[in-house]
Structure 1
Amino acid sequence: MPLTIFYWAMWSLWVYFTFLAKKNRTRDYVVIFLLASISCATFSVSIPTLDINVTYLLFLFVGLYLFRPKKMRLTLYYVFIIFSLMLLYVLYYIYVLYDPAIFLLFDDWALAIGLFLIICLLVKDHRMRCASLIMGQCMGEFLRVVVFYRFDHTVGHAGFLNQMAMVLVLVVAGHTIGNLTKQWHYYMASRVQSDMNKQSKF
């Protein structure tokens, strides 16, 4: 499977964070991570029984770094979400194996949109959304290789990278639209308040 979707999505995110996002240290780290992910997408590390894509390892490292719940009592909740995303990821590939026609109709966007909608319903914090999605897909990809070990020994295949990129685009787009909506509401509220103040003066 080609990495066309992955490259388009990751380069689009790089352009967004480089030229449109607010300049701060977090943005710099994101830009470096995106460039590293794009550069390492075709490289893999070989161990006796598996081939592990380098970009997969980068995603896994970032997911572990971001997984810092604000309240310790929420840790078990987020672990449950990650476990659910992992099972959904694997079940998708099992279903495709037995009914490949659905794969021809919906392709990888079905899984990406499904994961995005679930994480939006269950997690409100943006950082934990990213961490849960990345960890869930990374663990799901490893479990997929365990289940289909006789057919595929590559952890972080092209389909995984394409889906990960699509989900990240959806998360960033959703977060950006949410911020723009909040700014619009604040702007309209300030306009209404100023009009009311002018009327009260008269």
Structure 2
Amino acid sequence: MEGACFYFFFWSLWIIATFLMKKSADRTKLAAFALLMISSASLTVKVGPFHAAASFFVLFFFSCYAAVKQRPCGWLRMALASSGLAFAYAAFRLLALFDPVWIWLDGQWMLAWWLAFVSVLFHRNVLARLLCLALGGCQGEIVYAMAVSRMASDDVLGSFSFLDAISIGASSLLVWESIRFLSMQFEEKRSVGGMRQP
């Protein structure tokens, strides 16, 4: 069912932000962002020749706002990285359209892992990776829609298929970061325990 991964991810994000995080301005912004994404996912807006989901604009503008708040000149690196990821996104979608024999698993999962992999190549910080994933995914969706606009004019920017891929990619990045953090903690405890032995 399209949209299931998206709803699961953003409801989980809202629950974590609302009930588990400490009270702060970042917590409020994160919870509001999750609720806006959930409530606007089924609304569509016509922009020129394209139809776009309202959640697409929420994701794009929230990501742009967060990118501008990066450290000095960090937004420039983010813009370059997200542009590279946008072309990686569009290339994968076009490959799946014109030569689907290469898509040997579920297309959404392969696309999500591809985007997560490319964002890992561009950034070390997990928050920067998530931001790059969101920005690059939105830009890539626009590039892809413009490339196939003559063939498929009924496509919706930010459809549930797109939102699922972004949610799976973000979940993959968070799981990978959690595994890396736990392994570092385990190695640190192991090395401290080894030093204490007589």
TM-score tier, shorter chain, comes to 0.7 to 0.9
RMSD: 2.5
Alignment-derived partner of residue 70 in structure 1:
71
- What runs of 5+ residues in structure 2 fail to find an aligned partner? none
TM-score (norm 1): 0.82
Deviation track 1:166-200 (CA, whole Å, cap 9, x = no partner) reads: 1111122223333333433443444445x26xx5x
Q: How many Å separate the matches in 2 of 1:17 and 1:181?
A: 25
Q: CA deviation at 1:13?
A: 3.4
- Paired letter, 2:12: S
How far apart in 2 are the matches of 1:105 and 1:132? 24
Partners of 1:44 and 1:51 within 8 A in 2? yes
Q: In the alignment, what sits opposite 1:50? A: 50
Name the CA shift for 1:22/1:186 in 2 (closer, same or farther; >3 Å): farther
In structure 1, stretches of 5+ residues that fail to align are none
Structure 1 126/105 Cα, relative in aligned 2: closer, same or farther at 3 Å?
A: closer
**In the alignment, what sits opposite 2:99?**
99
- 1:146 matched to which residue of 2? 146
Tell me the number of residue pairs that the alignment of Structure 1 and Structure 2 aligns: 194
Does 1:177 find its partner at 2:179? yes
Would the alpha carbon gap of residues 48 and 3 (structure 1) be closer, same or farther in structure 2, given more than 3 Å must change? same
The TM-score, its normalising length taken from structure 2, stands at 0.83
Distance 1:60 1:11 in 2: 19
Structure 2 counterpart of 1:124: 124
Residue pair 1:69, 1:128 contacting (<8 A) in 2 also: no
Separation (CA, whole Å) in 2 of partners of 1:178 and 1:167: 17
Q: Report the AA paired with residue 107 of structure 2.
A: D
What amino acid is aligned across from residue 135 of structure 1 in structure 2? L
Higher gyration radius (CA): 1
Q: Deviations over 1:131-179 (max 9, x none)?
A: 2111100100111111111213522122211111111111222233333
Which residue is equivalent to 1:161? 163
Identity within the alignment, %: 23
* Matching residue's letter, 1:44: T
In the alignment, residue 22 of structure 2 is paired with which amino acid? Answer: K
1:111–1:163 Cα contact (<8 Å) kept: yes
Cα distance in 2, alignment partners of residues 181 and 28 from structure 1 = 31
